[in-house]
Amino acid sequence: MNFDFSDDQQAIKRTASEFLSARFKLEHVRELAESKAYDDDAWKEMCELGWAGIFIGEEHGGQELGTVELIILMEELGYALAPVPFLSTVAAGLALQFAGSDEQRARWLPGLAAGELRGTVGHWKDGEARLVPDADSADLIVLAGQGQGFVVERDGAHIEPFETLDATRRFGRVRAESGDPLVADPGHALDRICAGLAAENVGVAQRAMEMAVEYARDRKQFDRPIGSYQAVSHRCAQMLLEVESSRSAAYYAAWCADAEPESLGQAASMAKAYASDAAWRVCTSSLQVHGGIGFTWEHDLHFFLKRAKANGLMFGSAVEHRERVAQLSGLSSANPIPVEPTKPAAQDLSAA
């Protein structure tokens, strides 16, 4: 089996890396986060590059590529910590692509692929979806839960924006009783969204690790770089192990989505659970390597740590996904746990 990217995939990764590194210097990310804004010009350029419709069929204006290509973009966006509505809009496209009717796809997918419309997805239960990314700016909201879902337009839902600890992304609560029903189970779309979040956390963890390694090389104590001390070097080695393991899990889930969809549910939950915990641990370890400066608002590391935590709670916590893996593996007889953030976690996240 060949585990390398194809030439086209390598070109996508290279283009994304170059574009995002040029558009999202950390000082610009900080400026956007502190002003609670997105970079609309950069988002427009991403749409012109075809990113918003990378997996959408050509008949609807997309590029009709695979989940692996989407995951490549998600990892690079996490690495850059790009404040753009990519995740939410792509999530809506995935839900419609895999669970929408012909009429719903024809109505919404061309606009999503072109970036003319924005969408989002929320896990709906008891008439409410909590922790919905970019709900306040979405033209359409797909509410999914209990093996079914529906599409509601912005004026058909009550949207309550709220601040979370992740200042690089907007969130809201959505209340709606009904909408235009999807015709299929949105579970396969949710699994792909979870794989994408895992990949984004890979990028977040990679960047946090690189920041730690660079600091460990430059910072000296007793005329020696602190990275030469075992307490620091071992911590950095553990970061590398967790980053690479997360990357393997995320790309395996993406491969399953395209080549072995019957294994996608388990693979996506494995990736989401592992990457959620690993990104948090890598970011906290990076903070420890940085010492006192890492705890300050002026240092950029806290933006990565907070994105890692928020990603870990969206569309199911690590605990919930591990339980799902156990159930799908036949190791647990417990009742299925819905893939959604737990109520205490959502409350904690909104108390930034």
Confidence of residue 197 (pLDDT cuts 50, 70, 90): very high
Q: At 246, which CATH number? A: 1.20.140.10
pLDDT at residue 1 is higher than 80:
no
Reply yes or no on whether the pLDDT at 155 is more than 70.
Answer: yes
pLDDT at 245 over 90: yes
Q: Which residue has the tokens 């553990």?
A: 238
pLDDT for the residue 335: 53
Taking 50 as the threshold, does the pLDDT of residue 158 lie above it? Answer: yes
pLDDT of 62 higher than 70:
yes
- Say if CB 125 and CB 176 are below 8 A apart: no
Do the bridges between strand 224-225 and strand 220-221 make them parallel or antiparallel, or are there none, so unpaired?
A: antiparallel
Structural domain boundaries enclosing 227 = 187-349
Task: Please indicate, yes or no, if residue 25 is contained in any of the structural domains.
Answer: no
**What's the pLDDT band for 4 if we cut at 50, 70, 90?**
confident
Which pLDDT does position 314 carry in this prediction? Answer: 94
Residue 39 resides in a domain: no
Task: Confirm if 58 and 97 have CB atoms less than 8 A apart.
Answer: no
Let me know if residue 181 belongs to a domain.
Answer: no
Q: Which of 42-56, 162-176, 303-317, 333-347 has the lowest mean pLDDT?
A: 333-347
What average pLDDT does the segment 213-225 reach?
Answer: 92
Q: Please, what's the b/e burial string for 102-123 (b: 16 or more CB within 10 A of its CB; e: otherwise)? A: eebbebbbbbbbbbebbbbbbb
> What is the average pLDDT across 139-149?
91
Residue 135 binned pLDDT confidence (cut-offs 50, 70, 90): very high
Question: According to the model, what pLDDT value does residue 204 have?
Answer: 98
Total domain count for the chain?
1
pLDDT in tens, 82-102: 999 999 999 999 999 999 999
- Tokens 């839960």 belong to 145
Residue 334 pLDDT class (50, 70, 90 cuts): low
Residue 223 has pLDDT above 90, yes or no: no
Q: Find the mean pLDDT for residues 33-47.
A: 96
Band (pLDDT 50/70/90 cuts) for residue 125 is confident
Residue 136 lies in a domain: no
Q: Is 262 exposed, middle or buried (0-12, 13-18, 19+ CB in 10 A)?
A: exposed
Asked whether residue 345 carries a pLDDT value surpassing 50, the answer given is no
- Please report whether residue 251 resides in a domain: yes
pLDDT at 338 (0 to 100): 53
> Has residue 346 got a pLDDT over 60?
no
Residue 108 forms part of a structural domain: no
Local confidence band at 342 (pLDDT 50, 70, 90 cut-offs)? very low
Separation between Cα atoms, residue 145 and residue 153, nearest integer Å: 17
12 falls within a domain: no
Residues above pLDDT 70, as percent of the chain: 93
Beta strands 140-145; 119-125: pairing state: parallel
Phi/psi for 142 (5° steps) reads -95, 120
Residue 318 within any structural domain of the chain: yes
